[in-house]
Structure 1
Amino acid sequence: MTSPTRPAAADSDAAQLAALGYESEFKREMSPWANFSLGFTYLSPVVGVYTLFGFALATGGPPMIWSFLIVGLGQLMVALVFGEVVAQYPVAGGVYPWARRLWGRRWAWMTGWIYLIALLCTIASVSYGAGPYLAAVFGFESTTTATVVCALVILLVATLINFAGTKVLATAAIIGFAAELIGALVVGVWLLATHRVHGLGVLFDSFGAGGEGTYLWAFAAAGLIGIFQYYGFEACGDVAEEVPDPGRTIPTAMRRTIYIGGAAATFVCLALVLSVGDIPGVIAGEDADPVTTLLNDAFGGFGAKVVLAVVLLSFLSCAMSLQAAAGRLAFSYGRDEMIVGSRWLRRFDHKRAVPPYALVVAAVVPALVIVGAAGAGDTLTKIVTFSSVGIYLGFQMVVLAALRARLKGWRPSGKYRLGRWGLPVNIVALAYGIVAIVNMSWPRTPDAPWYDNWLVPLSAAIVIGLGLLYMAVHRSYGRSTAPYDDAVPKPASPASAPLARTEP
């Protein structure tokens, strides 16, 4: 039976969007739990932990697990800021339209550019990371060629799900969430019940990781597992035009993603740490893949394949959610006529209620990255290099824009507000993000060639430089007439426009 309040709520959502200058073509078919599931599968505790567990344990030893708590609190501050912004501006595309309304067109263009490139690289890295698991499940050798083919298959399946429309995407996200959460709990409980070899005291023993110097530097490097883990909550806001009552639903979904996703990731990591028999061997480099070793020991050949199948499903769900976010961002760019090719990016398939050409970009570019990086050594690392720092840069550009707007008089007016806590939370979120970016960018391989040692900041500088070059050559952002820079109240003027501010 249809709720009598639903038509009124739908009219309210449409009216709010119209007041912001848009008329949505999307269908609001994503339930609150589906919205949360999209963020959860993007955050994907299984993918994040299984991908970097071996590196983190070898670099910082068991105490690296405390980075989940530190990073989780920092990212919760960011999620609270995002919640206020999306409640006032529930527009598809996430960080780009938020930055546009908080600051202006130039800032928004660069924010969206950095975030889009990072998303496309992350789609490639997640798809490539799934390759060895697909090979293990089906029992063939994980060569470079096989891994590339498997990655492209994962990418194709994710693309087909996204092309099927919001309802199919929402259903797939819920299935992915349920499978990943159940899989994480089952694996964790089984390991702790049958294969645990350490007590909780091991979480305070570094086993000599980091050498004879201060342990802080080793912990900071190992803490990348937490930094890599805690994003995905912003995907809840990328689909703001597909969620009923987004001003209430999305901030809740973002916080829920941090709480449940962070708890699941920490639990999985805890179970793995307490069950690894030879931690000194991992630190010494004798076991480069302790997760696979442990799963084979704990579950046997067949059981390990079942677990790996769940892990593979987690990778697929993660790639699917990332692609949905990237597609909405590219569509948002096109709808506002902010970039070359806008007339294609803004096209909409009304039958499936998806932006087809924007989704094609979110499939073809990651595929090219996968194929192009196949010949490079340490492929996954090179693909991931810019992904995390780029997403954090995009986050912090919105956080900075929100702080600037607050100081200039912005008072959030959405259905979710922090009140007097808004300013201190905003400051803490910005401080955390700067520290995290510095940590990711810090050179840690002095014996490697300089361009490898400085690869993270170098890749970020290249992406930002290309963005600035584009802005100087092709000023499409300046022709965009969509509303911008309207968070801060402007002095009343007879010539002022109600929705948009005109730049000289």
Structure 2
Amino acid sequence: MNQPLDEDVKTLHSMGYAQELARRMSGFSNFAISFSIVCILAGGITSLPQALSTGFGFQVFVGWIVGGCFALVVALCLGQIGSAYPTAGGLYHWSSIFGGRGWGWATAWFNLIGLLFVVASVNVGVWYLFRDLVLAGVFHMDVSSITVDAARQDNGQAVAVQIFVVLLITTLQALSNHFGIKLTTMLTDFSGYLIFVVAIVLTGTFLIWGATWDFSRLFTFVNMTGEAGGGLVPQPRSMFIAFLIGLLYPLYTLTGFDASAHTAEETHNARVAVPRGMLHAVLWSVVFGLVMAGSFVLASPDLAATAKEGGSAWFNLFNNLPAPTWLKDFLAIAIVVANFICALAGLTSASRMIFAFARDGGLPGSRIWRHVSVRWRTPVAAIWLGAGCSVAATLYSPAFSALAAGCALFLYVSYAMPIAAGFFAEGKSWTEFGPFRLGFWSKPLAALSSAGVLVLVYAGIQPPSDILINYIIGIVVFLTVLWFGVARRRFKGPPIGAEITRRAHEIEAAEEAVGEVASPGR
């Protein structure tokens, strides 16, 4: 075992955990898995109507800048903590250390629900993109009978087709995750390059064959809530509230970068690679996504008419571009592939969260969900549990916007929880830091992140996503009852102090069970 890898394992041992997962990811791969989940070709496309239907071109362009800067602040705060504690299930682990086992337990659930919503929402988006770009656009098929439309009374067939396709897609993603991190890494590394290339080509296509070059559109705010925006935000709202709702466009897209932390136990030089992976995934997504979003606004012949088209706005814009057919076909297929890998990477992240939480006894049936395959060195049971739960999440509502808003809301709440706890713990119980430090800016940025997430929660429960209020209340009540009824007595949290020392023999046995060979001096 080389020296950097040996140091990674020693760091993991110092936190009380065994090296059960295969540490085969490079720094680029750690970046690529987060970049693949953020995937500006997913939310940057499918959630565009959310922005147009709230604040016009200003919401798309300036809103992306505002949301992107906030996401960078959150990534900076998480990167500092991840550099100190590079472990799978990172957010849960950090919250437990800084805020206590109850705070960590709640963080785990919010993060897990958010990750499952990522997989669910993106896979519904994969189906929409495949249906409208490939089936309709490339093969010129009539897809009206398999399009879910709330106005139709006979859309049962469309819903059934959607459920079947999402189940098939998720199964393929679970199989890819099952057969080792090497296969997953190959796909996400490829996706990292694919997103860069397709984003550049897509932006160029919109600018060359569609741009009006009316740059004033990028800075013009028009309140499009109500019928003006196709009814995506059905009730007319004030300009300020409309802007807040529209921020779900960039913030739904700029989620999932915690994957770098969740795969820390599979990454070389994790203390450096994890914060770098998160920051670079957000930074480059913000830069490329901003230019791409601007090209969409500039390419619309009539932006008000485009906004009024609602959920089909981007598809109609793309299909009507007078670009070469072969180029549009390439882009359509590439976008679907990128979205498929986006959800695949999301399932990787969710499965590591399940594995890490179960490893500390946080889930019912933890012995099952924490199991690592000796052959593949992956948490196979956790992978299939995550796949099943993500499919189930698509059954409660056909509304993509509700899944997208829920994803952004739950994930950013789970991001804020360890950041807020770290704000109070820094310099007191939190005295161990990694090579990535924020120094003077640590507490101001932590305060800004925590306050910003509260604003996001308010925006996330506005119509049409107000359906989430019932689910949030239900989840909070369920978790409260579960904690005080069962978990508070049984759940010990991650190992600390003497418990870490006591686990030495368990760590050795766990590593021997999966064939991990200790290096000299370990």
Q: Give the TM-score of the pair, scaled to structure 2.
A: 0.85
The whole-number CA distance in structure 1 between the counterparts of 2:237 and 2:252 is 25
**Residue aligning to 2:257:** 233
Could you tell me which residue of structure 2 aligns to residue 193 of structure 1?
208
Equivalent pair of 1:77/1:425 in contact (CA under 8 Å): yes
Deviates more, 1:242-251 or 1:112-121: 112-121
Which has the larger displacement, 160-169 or 457-466? 457-466
- Is 1:469 aligned to 2:484, yes or no? no
- Out of 489, 492, 498, the position equivalent to 1:480 is 492
Correspondence 1:74-113 to 2 at 5 A: 74-113=70-109
- Give the match for residue 315 of structure 2: 292
Within a 5 Å distance, the mapping from 1:241-260 to structure 2 comes to 241-260=265-284
CA distance in 2 between counterparts of 1:197 and 1:238 reads 43
Task: Find the aligned partners of 1:218 and 1:368 in 2 and give their Cα distance.
Answer: 31
* Structure 2 alignment gaps of length 5 or more: 148-157, 229-235, 503-522
Once residues 274 and 52 of structure 1 are traced to their aligned partners in structure 2, the CA distance between those partners, rounded to angstroms, is 17
Secondary structure of the corresponding residue to residue 92 of structure 1? coil
Partner Cα distance (1:74, 1:474) in 2: 37
Deviations 1:382-407 (A, max 9, x none): 43342221111111111111112126
Amino acid at match of 2:183: V
CA distance in 2, matches of 1:497, 1:146: 51
1:166-204 CA-to-partner distances (Å, cap 9, x unmatched) read 111111101112112211110101211221013211112
Aligned residues of 2:248 and 2:408 also touching (Cα < 8 A): no
Between stretches 153-162 and 246-255, larger displacement belongs to: 153-162
How many Å apart are 1:153 and its aligned residue? 2.2
Look up the match of 1:316: 340
Report the RMSD for the aligned CA atoms in angstroms: 2.2
Matched, 1:329 2:353: yes
Is contact 1:84–1:412 with CA below 8 Å preserved after alignment? no
| 1:491 corresponds to | none
Contact 1:46 1:268 in 2 (8 A): no
Q: What is the distance in 2 between the residues matched to 1:414 and 1:256?
A: 18
Shift in Å, 1:468: 1.3
1:21 to partner: Cα distance = 0.9
For the 8 Å contact 1:118–1:391, the answer to whether it is kept is yes
> Partners in 2 of 1:206 and 1:77 — Cα distance?
25
Task: After TM superposition, list the pairs within 5 Å mapping 1:206-217 onto structure 2.
Answer: 206-207=221-222, 209-210=224-225, 215-217=239-241
CA distance in 2, matches of 1:440, 1:42: 20
- Answer yes or no: is the 8 Å Cα contact 2:82–2:275 preserved in 1: yes
Give me the whole-angstrom Cα distance separating, in 1, the residues matched to 2:63 and 2:362: 38
Q: What amino acid sits opposite 1:426 in the alignment?
A: A
Q: Residues 208 and 387 of structure 1: is their aligned pair in 2 closer, same or farther, counting only changes over 3 Å? A: closer
Deviation at 1:335, TM superposition (A): 0.9
Q: Percent identity over the alignment?
A: 22
Q: CA deviation at 1:282?
A: 2.5
**What is the one-letter code of the residue matched to 1:16?**
T
Closer, same or farther in 2 for the Cα pair 1:205/1:325, shift >3 Å? same
Greater shift after overlay, 193-202 or 103-112? 193-202
Q: Which residue of 1 aligns with 2:122?
A: 126
* Structure 2 residue identity aligned to 1:38: I
The reply on whether 1:438 has 2:453 as its aligned counterpart is no
Distance 1:214 1:358, change over 3 A: closer
Farther-moved stretch of structure 1 (37-46 vs 92-101): 92-101
Question: How much does 1:430 deviate?
Answer: 1.5
Q: Which residue number in structure 1 is paired with residue 33 of structure 2? A: 38
Distance 1:222 1:213, change over 3 A: closer
Relative distance call for 1:59 and 1:342 in structure 2 (3 A) is same
CA positional deviation for 1:412? 4.1
Q: What corresponds to 2:173 in structure 1?
A: 158
Separation in structure 2 between the aligned mates of residue 72 and residue 499 of structure 1, nearest angstrom: 42
Give a deviation string over 1:269-317, Cα, whole Å, max 9, x none: 111110011111133x246422111222223655433222111112111
Equivalent position of 1:135 in the other structure:
131
Judge conservation of contact 2:15–2:500 (CA < 8 Å) in 1: no
CA shift for structure 1 position 476: 6.6
The whole-number CA distance in structure 1 between the counterparts of 2:311 and 2:437 is: 46
Q: How much has 1:410 moved relative to structure 2? A: 2.4
Deviation at 1:35, TM superposition (A): 0.7
Conserved? CA contact 1:184–1:268, under 8 Å = yes
What is the Cα deviation at residue 42 of structure 1? 0.7
Which residue of the partner structure matches residue 460 of structure 1? Answer: 472
**By how many angstroms is 1:58 displaced?**
2.4
- Which of these residues, 269, 284, 294, is aligned with residue 293 of structure 2? 269
**Which residue identity does 1:63 align to in structure 2?**
F
What does the per-residue CA deviation read over 1:27-85, in whole Å, with 9 as the maximum and x for residues that have no partner?
11111111101000111111011111123112210001211111221121211111121
Any stretches of 5+ residues in structure 1 without a counterpart? 1-5, 446-451, 487-495
CA distance in 1, matches of 2:284, 2:123: 24
Whether the 8 Å contact between 1:339 and 1:477 is mirrored in structure 2 is no
Structure 1 counterpart of 2:163: 148
Aligned-partner Cα distance in 1 for 2:74–2:274: 14
Of 392, 400, 403, which residue of structure 1 is paired with 2:412?
Answer: 392
